[in-house]
Amino acid sequence: MQRYFIDQPADQKEIELPKNVAHHLVTVMRAQAGSQIEVVLADHRVYLATVTTTSPAQIQIVKDLDRDSELPLRVTLLCGLPKTKEKPEMIVQKATELGADKIVFFESARSISHWAKQKQAKKLARLQKIADGAAEQSHRNRQPQVAYAPDLATALAENPADHRVVAWEESAKQGETRALHQVLTGMTPGQSLVAIFGPEGGLTSQEVEQMQAVGVVPVGLGPRILRTETAPLYFLAAVSYASELAVNHR
Amino acid sequence: MQRYFIDQPADQKEIELPKNVAHHLVTVMRAQAGSQIEVVLADHRVYLATVTTTSPAQIQIVKDLDRDSELPLRVTLLCGLPKTKEKPEMIVQKATELGADKIVFFESARSISHWAKQKQAKKLARLQKIADGAAEQSHRNRQPQVAYAPDLATALAENPADHRVVAWEESAKQGETRALHQVLTGMTPGQSLVAIFGPEGGLTSQEVEQMQAVGVVPVGLGPRILRTETAPLYFLAAVSYASELAVNHR
C-alpha cells in the first residue's frame, strides 16, 4: 500500500493533504474517494487512512496500524564526501532503505569534492528529497535527516552518540574481525551509534588517530576492500542482522 | 597494491602478461621494470610479483602472499531479472565486492525485461567484465561467474547447493525474523548457499510455493522493504557478518 509522510499532529482525524502529497496521490496514483493509503504522522506512527475527497485532497484516519520498521539502534553515518554526484545520492537512497537515522557528508582529508557554501543548501535539499522518497518506498516510520559538515571535527562534535565506530581498511588488513560484533552485541535497543566512513582513497591515519583519541573504535568490515559507497551499506545490513535477526528477544 | 587475475598455472616463475593486463599495467598504471604488483593465478592464490620487462610485459613471481579474502560460504545469487540495464550492473559490481561466488539472472514471473537469445552472450560478457574488474578492486581471490537462466526452474536445477533460501517480503511482514540466522549458524565453512531474490514487484506466491516444495527456506531480511537491487547486498553483508565477524574461531 502507498505510504506518505505527513507532518501533522496525530490528534486530528480529518487531514487535508499537503500539495506535493495530494499531487502524487491524486494525479500520479489516480486515487479516488474511498481509496486507502498508509500515512505516517508527526508522531512517527503508521495509520491506515481513507481518501474522502480528491479536490481538495482529504483523508480520514481509520486506525493506528501499530507497525514499526525502524532499526532498534539509531544509526548516524558520517561519510567522507565522495568524488561524484551519484555516490552521495546512492548512499542516501540505500542507507534510507537499510534504516539509517541520519546521514552526514563531511569533507575528509582525501575528499576531492568540495561543497561551496552557497551550494550546500541546494545540494542538501536534493539529497533530502531522495531520503524522503526512499523512506516512503521502504516503509520507514522516520525520514532520515541528511546533513553536511565542513570537516571531521565538526561532524564528530555535532553528532554525539552512545557508541562510535570507524570503518578502517587497515583494521581489516591486520586481521581484526571481532570489534564490530563486540560493539553491536554490547548495545541495547534505543541506543545511538555513529559510524564513520572514508571517501575514495580512504581515511588518513591522522584522521583515524584523531578519532581514536576521542574514543572512536576502529572496526573491520571483512577481508574484502569495499568501495566508499558500499561500506556504509554493509555496515547497516550488519546492524540490522545483529539487532533484528540474530537476536532471541523478538 | 594493484591486483590482476592471470589464468596461468602457478608452477611458472616467469609469466608473460596477457594483452589486456599488460595494457592496463604499462599504459594506464605506467608500471616500469621493478614495479611490484599482486597477481592471482589459476590456483586462486595471491602472489607478489615484480615487473621484469614492460615490452613485452613480463613478471617474475616473488612469493605466495597467503591471503584469502573469500567468504567462508560459497554464495550463489539467483536474481529475478530487473527492469533496467543499470540494476544488473550494480548488483554484479556490489555483489562481487561483497563476496558472491556466482550471480545468475533469471526471468521471473514479474520480470518486465527479457533477454533475447541472440543478445544473451553479449549482455553476459559485459556483466562478466564488471565482475572481473570489481574482483580486482576488492582484492578477491576469485572472479565470480555471471550467468543467465530463462526461468526459475532452470535456475534452480542448474545451481544445486547445500542450503537454499529465498528472500521473501511476506516472510518479513509476518514478523519472521529468525530463519536467516538459523540457516547461517547451521552452516560450516566450505558449504554452498543459494539465495533467490525477486525482481521489482517481488516473487509471486506460486514461485515461492514452487521453491518451498523443493526445500527452499523463505527468510526475511528485516522489517523494511528493500529494492530488488538492495536485497542481495543486504544478504551478502549478513553472510559476511555472520560467517566472518560474529564468530569465535578466527
Say what the pLDDT of residue B250 is: 41
Confidence of residue B33 (pLDDT cuts 50, 70, 90): very high
Kind and range of the H or E element at B185? helix B179-185
Whether B85 and B201 share a structural domain: yes
pLDDT at B220 over 70: yes
pLDDT, tens digit, 9 for 90 and up, residues A229-249: 999 999 999 999 999 999 864
Give domain status of residue A230, yes or no. Answer: yes
* Strand positions, DSSP E, chain B: 3-5, 14-16, 36-40, 46-54, 57-64, 74-80, 102-106, 145-149, 163-167, 192-197, 217-219
Interface residue B140 vs chain A (CB under 8 A): yes
Q: Which triple of cell numbers denotes residue B93?
A: 559490481
Percent residues over pLDDT 90 in chain A: 92
Say what the pLDDT of residue B88 is: 97
Q: Are the beta carbons of B137 and A99 separated by less than 8 Å? A: no
Give domain status of residue B250, yes or no. Answer: no
Q: Are the beta carbons of A177 and B223 separated by less than 8 Å? A: no
Say what the pLDDT of residue B248 is: 63
Whether B235 and B143 share a structural domain: yes
Whether A183 and A59 share a structural domain: no
Whether A55 and A80 share a structural domain: no
The SS3 of residue B191 is coil
Q: Are the beta carbons of A244 and B181 separated by less than 8 Å? A: no
Say what the pLDDT of residue A222 is: 93
pLDDT, tens digit, 9 for 90 and up, residues A190-207: 999 999 999 999 999 999
Mean pLDDT of chain A, nearest integer: 94
DSSP A23: I
Number of domains in chain A: 2
CATH number at residue B9: 2.40.240.20
pLDDT at A32 over 80: yes
Domain end position, chosen among B64, B97, B115? B64
Whether A161 and A232 share a structural domain: yes
Spell out the SS3 assignment of A114-162.
CCCHHHHHHHHHHHHHHHHHHHHHCCCCCCCEEEEECCHHHHHHHCCCC
pLDDT at A228 over 80: yes
Whether A12 and A50 share a structural domain: yes
The beta-carbon neighbor of B230 closest among A68, A97, A180 is: A97
pLDDT, tens digit, 9 for 90 and up, residues B2-11: 999 999 999 9
Confidence of residue A250 (pLDDT cuts 50, 70, 90): very low
Give the residue carrying C-alpha cell 565506530.
A165
Say what the pLDDT of residue A190 is: 96
Say what the pLDDT of residue B154 is: 97
Instruction: Look at B169 and B131; give whichever has higher pLDDT.
Output: B131
Whether B52 and B83 share a structural domain: no
Say what the pLDDT of residue A249 is: 46
Give the residue carrying C-alpha cell 545469487.
B77
Q: Does residue B134 contact residue B126 with C-beta atoms inside 8 Å?
A: no
Mean pLDDT of chain B, nearest integer: 94
Q: Are the beta carbons of A233 and B238 separated by less than 8 Å? A: no
Q: Are the beta carbons of A234 and B230 separated by less than 8 Å? A: no
Mean pLDDT for B52-60 is: 95
Give domain status of residue A87, yes or no. Answer: yes
Confidence of residue B249 (pLDDT cuts 50, 70, 90): very low
CATH number at residue B107: 3.40.1280.10
Say what the pLDDT of residue B171 is: 76
Q: Which residues 172-231 of B have a C-beta within 8 angstroms of A? A: 177-178, 180-181, 220-227, 230
Say what the pLDDT of residue B174 is: 74
Q: Which chain B residues are closer than 8 Å to A89 by Cβ?
A: none
Say what the pLDDT of residue A248 is: 63
Say what the alpha-carbon torsion angle B102, B107, B113, B118 is, to the nearest 10 degrees.
80
Q: How far apart are CA A131 and CA A145, in angstroms?
A: 8
Q: Are the beta carbons of B97 and A140 separated by less than 8 Å? A: no
Q: How far apart are CA B226 and CA B222, in angstroms?
A: 9
Cα separations in angstroms, B30 against A201, B2, B152: 19, 12, 46
Whether A11 and A81 share a structural domain: no
C-alpha angle B232/A76/A45, rounded to 5°?
A: 80
Q: How far apart are CA B83 and CA B81, in angstroms?
A: 7
Whether A134 and A87 share a structural domain: yes
Domain limits at B216? 74-245
Interface residue A138 vs chain B (CB under 8 A): yes
Whether A20 and A89 share a structural domain: no
Confidence of residue A130 (pLDDT cuts 50, 70, 90): very high
Mean pLDDT for A26-30 is: 94
Domain end position, chosen among B64, B86, B102? B64
Q: How far apart are CA B211 and CA B152, in angstroms?
A: 9
Q: What was the ipTM of the complex prediction?
A: 0.94
Percent residues over pLDDT 70 in chain A: 98
